[in-house]
């Protein structure tokens, strides 16, 4: 199947700065995207999702942007905090495929106090 990949495997930011984590996908039929956060020793935790009929969605301190033209997804974290340090995964699925999510390889975000 087609894969989801991340541009940057690691990202370090200063506490209080904004973080941007990027994700590229290749399946043009993908219509549902999710960002997960995984802290050490824990399972992936849902952050925010977006469907392909939208190009932006906001949550608490997080914003997901979807650019279907270039098949690009990003997660923006405002005022990054030490508790945001984790591995972030994007995942995608499409209506035509099996009922599962394809996960990217993940980006490790490190927040520097």
Partner 1 sequence: DAGVIQSPRHEVTEMGQEVTLRCKPISGHNSLFWYRQTMMRGLELLIYFNNNVPIDDSGMPEDRFSAKMPNASFSTLKIQPSEPRDSAVYFCASSLRRKEKLFFGSGTQLSVL
Q: How far is the CB of 47 from partner 1 (least distance, A)?
A: 10
- Site for partner 1 (CB under 8 A): how many residues? 21
* Helix, strand, coil abundance in the chain, percent, nearest 5: 5, 55, 40
Q: How far is the CB of 85 from partner 1 (least distance, A)?
A: 18
CA distance 83 to 29: 34
Q: Considering only residues 7-66, where is the footprint of partner 1 by CB under 8 A?
A: 32, 34, 36, 41-46, 49
Distances (CA, A) of 39 to 44, 47, 49, 66, 74: 7, 12, 19, 24, 19
Choose between 14 and 95: whose C-beta lies nearer to partner 1. 95
Footprint on this chain of partner 1 (rule: CB under 8 A): 32, 34, 36, 41-46, 49, 89, 93, 95, 98-101, 103-106
């Amino acid at each position: 199947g087609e894969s989801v990949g991340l541009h940057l495997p690691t990202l370090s930011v200063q506490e209080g700065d904004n973080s941007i984590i990027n994700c590229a996908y290749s399946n043009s039929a993908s219509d549902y995207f999710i960002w997960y956060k995984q802290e050490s020793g824990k399972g992936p935790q849902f952050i925010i999702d977006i469907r392909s009929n939208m190009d932006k969605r906001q949550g608490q301190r997080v914003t997901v942007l979807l650019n279907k033209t270039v098949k690009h997804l990003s997660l923006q974290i405002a005022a990054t905090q030490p508790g945001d340090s984790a591995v972030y995964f994007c995942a995608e699925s499409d209506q035509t495929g099996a009922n599962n999510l394809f996960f990217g390889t993940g980006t490790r975000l490190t927040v520097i106090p």
